[in-house]
Amino acid sequence: MFLIDQIFAAAYGAQSSLGRSYYTSGASGPSIQSFRERTYTLNGAVLAATGIADHEAFVRMVEEEFPAPVPGSQPAPVMTSQYIGGEARISDGSGYTHVGLAFEGPTSARVMNVLKHCLGATAFAAPGIIGVYSGNLDELSKAITTAPSTDVIAKAKAAAKAEAIRALDLGSKSLAYAMTDSILNSCGFSEKALAESYDAVSVDQVSTAYSAMLKSKLSLAAVGNISNVPYHATIASRFN
Amino acid sequence: MTTLPYGLTIVTETASLTSTVALTYPQAGSSNEGPAEAGAALANRYLAFKSGSGLSSALIIRNLEDVGATLFAGAGRGGATVGFTAARESAAFVAPLLSTICSFEKWDVKEAQSLADTEAGKVNPEVRH
């Protein structure tokens, strides 16, 4: 968790809204209230409900019982943080070394998930960024610099598709989250719709996303015993 | 799927044996905090099911628990979700409790700040006190 936070700090700048940790203390009462009043608005929100026999009756209930926003009110404005790439190093004397390397990721969530599986077991994907993490820098570099072949992309598509469909099968709550995700990412939440959305990802799309990833500026996060972790410019030269 | 004129999108399915109702606010994640709002997304997660719309926190939670609902609230960089899982026949009856408008009672805010600070301190060693 802490390493991922540092990767975001490196990618977007520690003072930006996306680079700052979600786990930040010290929020004032007025800021908590202003944030809630600005962002917890039904305009733009998604209400997902599983096990509902009658959709129309459920919608009528919402229309009657949920407080409608003031007419003409707009969804909460979205603050943007620009990907800049960079470095975050935290020495904590723990004796362990944790290193994460990240790049700007593709905008398509489906292509992002497939590319993540191309990069191997230690890969991660978060909105806007994709990368790998572990304690071994050489292994991370190899995972990044090995261009995915057609076979690897086919396997990655299958793994990403299975992972997405499995989420539908983990119970009512997991399904509700998948339904919400389907609305926010403009795709279906049925097994068929999810499968089709991954089947539609082409080898060219993944290859193009991989090339674009490597062309973006490296984000490096190192936490723990970092005395032997090279600095950003040295590691970045491996990917040029 | 239905989108109401004021912008709320409702999506349902019929097959689940239990009913989960989840209300997600996509802009309520920490990525949408202003410069003076750092930590507000985390603190607001602890204001889920707190007093609002003329109802006390105790009444909101009691009504949900009376129908056997299991409550959850989550947030992160990308948004915030509040919801519950309950028996199918009870879900629509208590779903409006998810949309209560927080009244920011001072004891609720103080507790949320304290819990948020504790959680942040556990995750992020830089903010340990």
- Residue B68 clears pLDDT 90, i.e. is over it: yes
Residue A186 in any domain: the answer is yes
| Domains along chain B with CATH numbers | 24-34+42-127 (3.30.830.10)
Contact A35, B40 (CB under 8 A): yes
Give the Cα separation of A63 and A70 in Å (integer).
14
The alpha-carbon gap from A210 to the nearest alpha carbon of chain B, in Å, equals 24
Whether residue A105 lies inside any domain: the answer is yes
CB-CB under 8 Å, B7 with A20? no
In 3D, which of A185, A228, A218 has the Cα closest to residue A91?
A228
Q: What is the pTM of this model?
A: 0.88
Q: Do A68 and B33 touch (CB under 8 A)?
A: no
Output the pLDDT for position A78: 81
Task: Say which CATH number the domain at A116 has.
Answer: 3.30.830.10
Give the number of domains in chain A.
Answer: 1
Q: Measure in Å the smallest separation between the Cα of B61 and chain A Cα atoms.
A: 17
The B residues from 40 to 59 touching A (CB cutoff 8 Å) are 40-44, 47, 53
- Give the helix ranges, DSSP H, for B1-129: 40-45, 57-66, 88-94, 106-123
Instruction: Look up the domain containing A133 and give its range.
Output: 2-12+85-239
Provide the ipTM: 0.94
Q: Note the pLDDT of residue B125.
A: 61
Q: Which residues of chain A have pLDDT under 70?
A: 1, 135, 187
How many CB atoms are closer than 10 A to CB B2? Answer: 15
Q: What is the mean pLDDT of chain B?
A: 92
Residue A220 is assigned to a structural domain of this protein: yes
Please indicate, yes or no, if residue A27 is contained in any of the structural domains. Answer: no
Phi, psi dihedrals of residue A113, rounded to the nearest 5°: -65, -40
Q: Tens digits of per-residue pLDDT, B18-37?
A: 999 999 999 999 999 988 99
Residue B96 has a pLDDT of 95
Predicted local distance difference test score (pLDDT) of residue A94: 78
